[in-house]
Amino acid sequence: MQFGRLLGGAVVTETVFAWPGVASLAVKAINTYDYPVVQGAVVLLAFLIVLANLLADIAVTWLDPRVRLDEEHA
């Protein structure tokens, strides 16, 4: 869940320091009403958040022996 906040901070960082990136591209697209670019940026960032959460869940399952994937003990 912290990854979403990290990406939100990227918008501020890229805008303030004028660094090129997806977040600054999205801000420029919002200001110029370029909806396909806004949609692409939102889908990309949403995919990255889902991927980061999936990888975190897999890492917890792999590292913590108390977490099980089977449903017999639920």
Give tens-digit pLDDT for 10-67: 778 877 888 888 888 888 999 999 999 999 999 998 898 899 899 998 999 899 888 7
How high is the pLDDT of residue 29? 93
Give the pLDDT confidence score for residue 74 in this predicted structure. Answer: 54
Contacts of 28 (CB under 8 A, 6+ apart): 34
Helices (H) and strands (E) in the chain, counts: 3, 0
- Six token digits for residue 50: 């889902």
Separation of alpha carbons 15 and 58, rounded Å: 33
Pair 38, 26: CB distance under 8 Å: yes
CA separation for the pair 32, 47 (Å, rounded): 24
**pLDDT at site 72:** 66
| Whole-structure pTM value | 0.70
Report pLDDT for 55: 93
